[in-house]
Amino acid sequence: MGKNLATKILEAHLVEGELIPGKEIAIKIDHTLLQDATGTMAMLEFMAMGAPRAKVELAAQYIDHNLLQTDSKNADDHVFLMTAAQKFGIHLSKPGNGVSHQVHLERFGAPGKVMLGADSHTPTAAGLAMLAIGAGGLDVAMAMAGHPFHLPCPRIWGVKLTGKLPDWVSGKDVILEMLRRHTVKGGVGKIIEYYGPGVETLSATDRGTIGNMGAELGATTSVFPSDHRTREFLEAQGRGECWQPLTADPDAAYDEYDEIDLSALEPLIACPSSPDNVVKVKDVEGVKVDQVIVGSSVNSSFRDLMVVCRILDGKRVAPHVSFNINPGSRQVLENVAAQSGFMSLLLAGAQVHQPGCLGCIGMGQAPGTNQVSLRTFPRNFPGRSGVKNDRVYLCSPETAAAAGIYGVITDPRKLGEFGPCPRVENPQKYLLDDSSIIPPLEDTSGVEIVTGPNIVPFPEFEELPGELTAEVIIKVEDNISTDTIMPAGNRVLPFRSNIPAISQFVFEQIDPDFHKRAKEKGNGVVVGGENYGQGSSREHAALAPRYLGIRAKIAKSFARIHKANLINFGILPLTFENPADYGLVKQGDKVTFKNLRDLIASGAKEIPVQVDGREIVTILEVSERERQDLLAGGTLNYVKKGNL
C-alpha cells in the first residue's frame, strides 16, 4: 500500500520515535505562530529559556486578539511583543493587520511545512497543505528555542470528497457536516486528510475553513493535498516559488475512512451551544435573529466576504438586525474594497470593523439579553460571546447574509428569488501590502525589550511531592471547554501576562468562588467528564489553576492540547480506570495519593486514589519524558535543570 500525505510529511520531519498510532513521536518544526492572547506568556517562557534568537525557519507573532484598549494593559503588552519580536528575530504583524490564521495563509504558508501555533485554529494552514498543529504557548516557545515537538502519533483519517458543492452551499457546510456526523470528540488523536476528486473543486481558502474547524472535532490537525488550486492561490499572493506538488499515493491507506458527496450537501447550522449541535438550516427557519457577524477566525477570506457583498448588493438588512463584518486581514479588506464590495456593505447597513478576532474571542460584539446571534465563527460554547446563557448559532456566510436580509434564520437557497447564486472566485492577483508586517532584524544588539507594569514574573512551582492530600474543589460535566475553565473576553484577557490576577477568573462562569476555595485549601483536585478541556489552546486554563494549587485533574477523558498543557505545568492528568467511579466522587471530598512520586518515577500507569476512605484507580497515560516534567513540577523546571 502507498503512503498518505500526512504520513509523508510526518516522516520528513520525524526526529524521534516511530509512526505507530498512540506512541510518542517528536517532529521538527519549520514555522511557529503566536498571537497576543497567548504570545505574551509564551514570549516570557521563551525568555526564561535564555535562547538568544528564534531557531526555526520562520517565527511569526500576531497581534489580533486583544485589540480593545480600554486601559493601558493591552497597549503595553503590544509594545512588549513588538520589542521582543525584534530582539529574537520574529516577524511581527501589527494590530489591525489581521487574524493570525488568515495572514499566515496569505503571506507565509508553504506546502509541506510543519507549523506549531499557540492557537487551536492554527490548522487553517491545511489550505496550503501544511501540517499545522495547535499547542500551548510553552510548547511553541520550546519549538522557537530549537526543540522538537513531542506528541502521541496520530491516526490518519482519510475523508474522500466527491462531487461539487451546489449553489448556496460552501466550505463551512462541509465541516459542519463532519461535526454533525462525528461530534466534538470524533477527531481526537487523529489527523484528518481530505482527498478525492471533490478536493480540486475547493479553493485554498475553502480548504482553510475546513481545516480551521477541524479543531472543533478535536483533531490534531487536518491536511489537503498541494495541487493546482494551491499553486493558484500562492501565485495570486506573489509567492508562486513556494509551491510544490504534494499528494497521497494513488493506493494510499488510512487508519479510518469516511466519504462526503459535496453535491448532496445542504446548508447547515450549529445550534446553541456546541459546534456539533448541527441541523439543516431549513429545520430551524423562522427563528428571529438580532445579530449577524461574518468573519473573524474563520470565513473571513476574500471569497467569504465578497459573496456576502454580492448577496447584499442593492438590498438592506432587516431593521432590527445588527449586521457586522470582521475581515480576516487588511489584505482582504483592501481587495474587497477594490471590487466595490465595501460600498455594498455600507449601503446595506452593515458595520465593518477592523481586521481581527473581536467577538470570536469575546472582545466586544456581545449580543443583548436573550438575543439570537448568527456567526460564521468556529465556536459557540456557552458564554463565549461574553453573555451568560447566550444563543449563538454557527453558519456559512450565505446563511448569515440570508438571515440579515430576512431578519430570521432562513435557508439561503431562498435568496434565489433575487437572482442566481453569486459565484465568487479569489483574485488572480491580490493587492499586496506588507507594510504592517515588521520583518526580523539581523542585528538586535541595540534592541531593548519594553516590559509594562502588567507583566509579572512567571510563577515558580514546586516539584511533585512524595505524597499528596488534597480536596476536590469542583466537579464538572462532559465537554467542558477552556472557555469555561479560563474565560476570554475584554475583562479577562488583558491579564494574560499576570497570572495572579487572571487566576481570579478560573471557572468564573459556573463557580465564581472557585479561586477563593482553591487558594484556601492549598492543594486541590478538579474532577471532569468526557473531553475535558476542549476548545482553545490557551495554556492559562492549566497555568492559572496550577497557581491556585490544583495538582491533579481526574476526568473520563481529556482534549489533546489541554492535557499537554496540564503536564507542562505539573498538573497530573488522570483518567478514571472505571468511568463509573466518576459518580463516586463529589465536590468537597478529601483525596489522598500515597507514594505518588515513587509511582510516577517507576513508570506506573495505575495511580490509586483514596477518596474519603474508598479507593479508586486512575490511569496516568503519559510518556517517560512527560513523567520527568511532572516530577519536576513542570516543563520549565525540568529545562532549567539543564535537561533537553
Which domain CATH number covers 147? 3.30.499.10
Helix-strand-coil split of the chain, %, nearest 5: 35, 20, 45
Residues of the chain with pLDDT under 70: 642-644
Same domain? 97 vs 245: yes
Q: How many domains does the chain divide into? A: 3
| Contact between residue 199 and residue 224 where contact means Cβ atoms under 8 Å apart | yes
Same domain? 370 vs 492: no
Is residue 153 domain-resident?
Answer: yes
Residue 497 appears among annotated catalytic residues: no
Same domain? 225 vs 367: no
**Domain range for residue 407?**
268-418
Residue 119 appears among annotated catalytic residues: yes
**For the chain, how many residues are written?**
644
Q: pLDDT value at position 644?
A: 61
Cα distance between residue 440 and residue 503, in whole Å: 34
- The DSSP output letter for 459 is P
DSSP 30-85: SEEEEEHHHHHHHHHHHHHHT-SS--SSEEEEE--S----SSHHHHHHHHHHHHHH
Is residue 195 domain-resident?
Answer: yes
| Contact between residue 101 and residue 128 where contact means Cβ atoms under 8 Å apart | no
Q: Which of these, 236, 299, 234, lies nearest to 431 by C-alpha position?
A: 236
Is residue 445 domain-resident?
Answer: no
List 64, 139, 173, 290, catalytic entry = 64
Cα distance between residue 91 and residue 30, in whole Å: 14
Q: Which residue has the cell 499537554?
A: 564
The residue out of 393, 418, 443 marking a domain boundary is 418
Same domain? 138 vs 272: no
Same domain? 175 vs 259: yes
> Peptide bond preceding 170: is omega within 30 degrees of 0, i.e. cis?
no
Give the alpha-carbon dihedral of 180, 410, 201, 429, to 10 degrees: -130
Same domain? 227 vs 82: yes
Q: pLDDT value at position 619?
A: 98
270: phi then psi, degrees, rounded to nearest 5:
-95, 120
CATH of the domain at 626: 3.20.19.10
354: its cell numbers:
477592523
List 30, 36, 77, 119, catalytic entry = 119
Q: pLDDT value at position 214?
A: 97
Residue 562 appears among annotated catalytic residues: no
Q: pLDDT value at position 493?
A: 86
Residue 296 appears among annotated catalytic residues: no
Other CB atoms within 10 Å distance of the CB of residue 471: 18
Same domain? 239 vs 175: yes
Residue 538 appears among annotated catalytic residues: yes
Residue 231 appears among annotated catalytic residues: no
Inter-axis angle of helices 330-338 and 302-312, nearest 10: 40
Same domain? 178 vs 146: yes
Q: pLDDT value at position 361?
A: 87
List 31, 65, 121, 560, catalytic entry = 65
- φ/ψ region of 630 (left if φ > 0, alpha if ψ in -120 to 50, else beta) reads alpha
